[in-house]
């Protein structure tokens, strides 16, 4: 029997978190009944004030809740903490999911079946669509273009969004946890880049596996709706494009010269924002 740790980090999205877990457990229970897989869920509560943990504990008492009061972990460091705790139990797979990602029927089975097809050597990203049917998150090219999944077979990607990702033990043994260099952004992309550099394939699973709306269409640091001071502050915030973190990732992706050029491009876009209607 293969053991799977499902990992998520949450902050004040109680209703979405409950729906996410509901869609997960419907499929977990079905897969468990086949006797082939066992699941445990690890959820980091990074200082929620909306009662998320209490609601989860009542609805899904089997969830391992890791409470933290700081509210400063954001996605990457919250997921690092969840993974750190789960890895103590030496699972066969680690499944990342965002708390605003809602699984479609058969999503977990698709990820696991494709992992078996690839001999549990590849990291597999699931593709999400938004509520209007447009692709929102999934596997990406080296130039950050979202990849359209094939309906039947896995396709190679260079990196991926962390909304729905299956990491086999083989990959974790070689790569370890998410990088501590990042707060929120870049950690998921970075993991894919590190995987490719270590000879571990990354693929996009067939079909659309989940629903997840994009957080925003244009980042505040690029929007004319905000003053320059506000744009600068957001760009330097953990959820923006912190210069040091951007440089680290860009260097790993394409080298230091690209990192310098891209850094200047980010500054230019901040200084000359896009107009929004």
Neighbour-count burial of 164, counting CB atoms closer than 10 A to its CB (0-12 exposed, 13-18 middle, 19+ buried): buried
Q: Which range, of 47-61, 157-171, 262-276, averages the lowest pLDDT? A: 262-276
Same domain assignment for residues 74 and 98: yes
Q: Which helix (H) or strand (E) holds 113?
A: helix 107-117
Q: Which of 179, 211, 243 is the last residue of a domain?
A: 211
Same domain assignment for residues 22 and 142: yes
Average pLDDT, whole number, for the chain?
96
Q: In this prediction, what percent of the chain has a pLDDT beyond 90?
A: 94
Q: What's the pLDDT at 69?
A: 83
109 within some domain? yes
Q: Which of 193, 211, 229 is the last residue of a domain?
A: 211
pLDDT band at 216 (very low <50, low <70, confident <90, very high): low
Q: Which three-class secondary structure state does DSSP give residue 228?
A: helix
Cα separation, 15 vs 12, whole angstroms = 9
What digits encode the pLDDT tens for the residues 69-82? 888 999 999 999 99
pLDDT band at 186 (very low <50, low <70, confident <90, very high): very high
Cα separation, 46 vs 173, whole angstroms = 27
Instruction: Give the domain range for residue 89.
Output: 2-211
Mean pLDDT value across residues 258-274: 95
Q: Is 118's pLDDT higher than 70?
A: yes
**Under a CB-based contact definition with an 8 Å cutoff, are residues 127 and 204 in contact?**
yes
Same domain assignment for residues 169 and 239: no
Q: State pTM to two decimals.
A: 0.95
277 within some domain? no
Q: Which range, of 19-28, 44-53, 104-113, 212-221, averages the lowest pLDDT? A: 212-221
Q: What's the pLDDT at 183?
A: 95
Q: Which of 211, 228, 253 is the last residue of a domain?
A: 211
Which residue(s) pair with 123 in the sheet?
A: 202
To the nearest 10 degrees (0 to 180), the angle between helices 74-87 and 187-197 is 60
Same domain assignment for residues 96 and 40: yes
Same domain assignment for residues 33 and 126: yes
Q: Is 217's pLDDT higher than 80?
A: no
pLDDT band at 147 (very low <50, low <70, confident <90, very high): very high
205 within some domain? yes
Question: What's the CATH code of the domain at 141?
Answer: 3.90.550.10
Same domain assignment for residues 157 and 238: no
Number of domains in the chain: 2
Pick the closest to residue 129 from 97, 163, 174 (CA basis).
163
Q: Is 85's pLDDT higher than 70?
A: yes
Mean pLDDT value across residues 92-99: 98
Q: What's the pLDDT at 70?
A: 83
What digits encode the pLDDT tens for the residues 6-29? 999 999 999 999 999 999 999 999
Burial per residue of 103-130, b for 16 or more beta-carbon CB atoms within 10 angstroms, e otherwise: bbeebbebbbebbeeeebebbbbbbbbe
Using DSSP bridges, classify how beta strands 64-68 and 37-46 pair: parallel, antiparallel or unpaired. Answer: parallel
Q: What's the pLDDT at 277?
A: 61
Q: Is 198's pLDDT higher than 90?
A: yes
């Amino acid at each position: 029997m293969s053991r799977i740790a499902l990992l998520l980090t949450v902050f004040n999205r109680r209703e979405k978190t409950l729906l996410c877990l509901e869609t997960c457990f419907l499929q977990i229970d079905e897969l468990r009944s086949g006797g082939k897989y066992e699941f445990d869920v690890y959820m980091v509560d990074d200082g929620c004030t909306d009662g998320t943990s209490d609601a989860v504990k009542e609805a899904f008492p089997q969830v391992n809740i890791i409470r933290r009061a700081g509210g400063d972990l954001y996605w990457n460091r919250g997921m690092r903490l969840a993974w750190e705790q789960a890895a103590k139990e030496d699972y066969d797979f680690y499944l990342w999911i965002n708390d605003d990602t809602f699984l479609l029927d058969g999503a977990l089975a698709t990820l696991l079946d494709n992992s078996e097809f690839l001999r549990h050597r590849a990291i597999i990203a699931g593709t999400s669509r938004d509520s209007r049917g447009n692709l929102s998150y999934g596997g990406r090219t080296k130039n950050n273009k979202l990849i359209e999944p094939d309906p039947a077979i896995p396709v190679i990607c260079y990196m991926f969004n962390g909304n729905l990702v299956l990491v086999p033990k083989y990959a974790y043994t070689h790569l370890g946890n998410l990088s501590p260099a990042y707060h929120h952004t870049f950690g998921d992309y970075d993991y894919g880049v590190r995987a490719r550099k270590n000879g571990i394939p990354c693929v996009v699973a067939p079909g659309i596996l989940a629903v997840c709306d994009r957080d925003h269409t244009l980042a505040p640091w690029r929007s004319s709706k905000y003053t320059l001071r506000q744009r600068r502050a957001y760009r330097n915030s953990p959820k923006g494009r912190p210069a040091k973190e951007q440089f680290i990732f860009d260097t790993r992706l394409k080298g230091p010269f690209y990192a310098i050029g891209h850094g200047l491009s980010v500054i230019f876009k901040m200084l000359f924002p896009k107009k929004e209607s």
